[in-house]
Amino acid sequence: MSDTIETVVVNNSTPEAETARRSEESRDDKPYLEFDHVSKSFGDKHVLRDVSWRVRSGETMCILGRSGVGKSVSLHNIMGFLKPDAGRIWVAYEDITDYGEKDMERIRKKVTMVFQSGALFDSLTVGENVAFPLRERGGLDEAQIFQIVDGLLEMVGVGHMRDLLPAELSTGMRRSVAIARALSAEPECILYDEPTTMVDPMMAHLLGDLIQKLKYQLKLTSVVVTHDMALAQKLADKLIFLHEGRVVFYGTPKEMENSKEEIVQEFLELDSTDFTSFGKTDLRRALPGDL
Ligand SMILES: Nc1ncnc2c1ncn2[C@@H]1O[C@H](COP(=O)(O)OP(=O)(O)OP(=O)(O)O)[C@@H](O)[C@H]1O
Ligand SMILES: [Mg+2]
């Protein structure tokens, strides 16, 4: 059984909320997100070619692939920032392909994106950043906002940073705050664009744990774009691997290990190379000349 943000953070679920949630769950047989033969080009550059995949409610899908294959473009199509040239896109059980801004604003209340940079408001404190979607939504008094903001910051591990400005935080901390802000909008689905790049391995691990916690505690549907195979193996119910505009693999992490696709195997092998265990002797063998 999933919990809402409020039940997790302030524990005040109502029977009405429970009924509404259960009727949502009865739609589980349909995919929550779907790309149905989607193509997208910029000029003569074909970024996505006939791409299809489905994600059910509560599932996590990881999108893998080399730089420039269209991973971020895929997320931007889900958010309606970009439109496909061909194919249909379903988000929150609705065909959004032809939606204008007004309908997309409604969809973006359900599906939110955590940008790589965090995209926080620089002039607002951490607490005010997280409070922003709550104030926009309305209906909460200051004490309730305060309680939810504190609960969310605690949940993502930056509870003591409420009064700091984003500039005072590390990249990883900014990303945690961005996740807290995304959560305060009470989304059904979160899209993460490379959540663990540019942070140290420990922070990457913590962010991975946080995304996993949100998946299980809030039953959030998630799409995670990443190069981090360890993260993908940990989080993904499904993985897609994009290469030269096409889906060259679509399946579970276990199935991916057995994929015959050369590029997928190269990716897996590269990732399993533990460069930190390379001793000086190995380096001497690997590199010509003196070290
Ligand atoms: N708005 C745009 N206008 C023109 N070209 C674009 C636009 N957005 C993306 N592209 C191009 O589409 C291709 C895919 O970009 P995308 O950002 O999706 O790559 P990516 O897979 O996310 O790569 P990375 O791992 O480096 O983030 C790139 O060649 C990029 O230059
Ligand atoms: Mg990208």
Residue 140 predicted with pLDDT over 70: yes
Residue 194 confidence (pLDDT) above 80: yes
> How many percent of the chain have pLDDT more than 70?
82
Tens of pLDDT, residues 208-255: 888 888 888 888 899 999 988 888 988 999 999 999 999 999 999 999
Distance 199 CA to ligand 1 centre (A): 22
- Is the pLDDT reported for residue 286 higher than 80? no
Classify residue 172 as exposed, middle or buried by CB count within 10 Å of its CB (0-12, 13-18, 19+).
buried
Kindly state the tokens that stand for 116. Answer: 């790589």
Q: Are strands 60-65 and 238-243 parallel, antiparallel or unpaired?
A: parallel
Listed in sequence order, the DSSP H helices in 83-170 are 101-107, 126-137, 142-155
* Residue 27 pLDDT greater than 80, yes or no: no
User: Alpha-carbon Rg of the chain, whole angstroms?
Assistant: 20
Classify 247 as helix, strand or coil.
strand
Higher-confidence residue of 129 and 281: namely 129
pLDDT at 20: 53
Q: At what angle do helices 171-184 and 126-137 cross, to 10 degrees?
A: 20
CA of 4 to the centre of ligand 1 (A): 34
- Worst-scoring range by mean pLDDT, 5-19, 173-187, 227-241? 5-19
Tell me if 169 sits within 8 A of 153, measured CB to CB: no
Identify the CA nearest to 119 among candidates 132, 109, 110: 132
The number of the ligand 1 atom at minimal distance from the alpha carbon of 76 is 18
Mean per-residue pLDDT, 277-290? 42
Pocket test for ligand 1, best of 72, 78, 194 (most atoms within 8 A of CB): 72
Ligand 1, pocket residues at CB < 6 Å: 42, 47, 65, 67-73
The pLDDT value given to residue 105: 93
For residue 272, report the distance from its CA to the centre of ligand 1, in Å. 26
Of 203, 214, 233, 208, which Cα lies nearest the Cα of 64? 233
- pLDDT, one tens digit per residue, over 41-100 is 999 999 999 999 999 999 999 999 988 999 999 999 999 999 999 999 999 999 999 999
Residue nearest to atom 19 of ligand 1 (CA): 68
Q: For residues 181 and 210, what is the distance between their CA atoms, to the nearest angstrom?
A: 14
The bound ligand whose nearest atom lies closest to the alpha carbon of 68 is 1
Joined tokens for residue 101: 């801004």
Q: What is the pLDDT of residues 269-278, one digit of tens each?
A: 876 554 444 4
CA–centroid distance, 196 to ligand 2, in Å, is 12
Query: What ligand has the least distance to the C-alpha of 70?
Result: 1
Is pLDDT above 90 for 106?
yes
Q: Which residues contact 289 (CB under 8 A, 6 or more apart)?
A: none
- Ligand 1 atom 5, closest CA: 42
User: Which residue ranges make up each domain of the chain?
Assistant: 5-110+187-285
> Which of 71, 75, 197 for a ligand 1 pocket mutation test, highest count of atoms within 8 Å of Cβ?
71
Contact present, 71 and 17 (Cβ < 8 Å)? no
Q: How far apart are the first and last CA of the chain?
A: 58
Q: From the CA of 69, give the closest atom in ligand 1.
A: 21
CA angle (99, 103, 105) in 5-degree steps: 120
What confidence score (pLDDT) does residue 200 get? 79
Here the tokens at position 34 are 């779907």
CA distance 9 to 6: 5
Ligand nearest to C-alpha 193: 2
Pick the CATH number of 5-110+187-285 from 1.20.58.390, 3.50.50.60, 3.30.360.10, 3.40.50.300: 3.40.50.300
Task: Please give the distance of CA 182 from its chain centroid, rounded to a whole number.
Answer: 10
Spatial distance between the Cα atoms of 117 and 69, rounded to a whole number of angstroms: 20
Rounded Cα distance between 2 and 18, Å, is 10
Quote the mean pLDDT of the chain: 83
